[in-house]
Amino acid sequence: MKDDSVYLLHIADAIRRIEEFTSGLDGKGFMASRLVQSAVIREFEVIGEASKQVSEKFKKSAPGIPWKRISGMRDKLIHGYFGVDLDAVWETISKDLPELKRRLGEL
């Protein structure tokens, strides 16, 4: 079993990649690029999978992070092949990801 810090590093790296992929884009630009959409969705899958591996003990010590929402989004992305709500993905990028990054930085 890996240390929680390994999974947190995977999450932080995926956040940085999403920021890189979407740098300079607005919602319209994101919607226009299937390449960026695919890359971002993959990184959200990584975030979700890593969050599922973080120990329950650690999750309880960081209640400000919405662990269940993160893993739930991953499940929707993995199993919703043709039904991914790109507006929700963009909203997550623009509103939720900066907050998650901030909270992870405080750990």
DSSP assignment of 10-26 equals: HHHHHHHHHHHHHTT--
User: Does the annotation mark 74 as catalytic?
Assistant: yes
pLDDT tens-digit readout, 31-68: 999 999 999 999 999 999 999 999 999 999 999 999 99
Sign of CA dihedral 62, 91, 82, 35: negative
What is the C-alpha to C-alpha distance for residues 22 and 19, in angstroms, rounded to an integer? 5
Domain boundary assignment for the chain? 4-105
**Residue 81 pLDDT:** 62
Q: Two tokens at 5?
A: 């810090």
77: number of Cβ within 10 Å = 20
**What is the CA angle 39-41-47, rounded to 5?**
105
| Catalytic, out of 16, 69, 74, 103 | 74
| Catalytic, out of 16, 17, 69, 79 | 79
**Residue 1 pLDDT:** 57
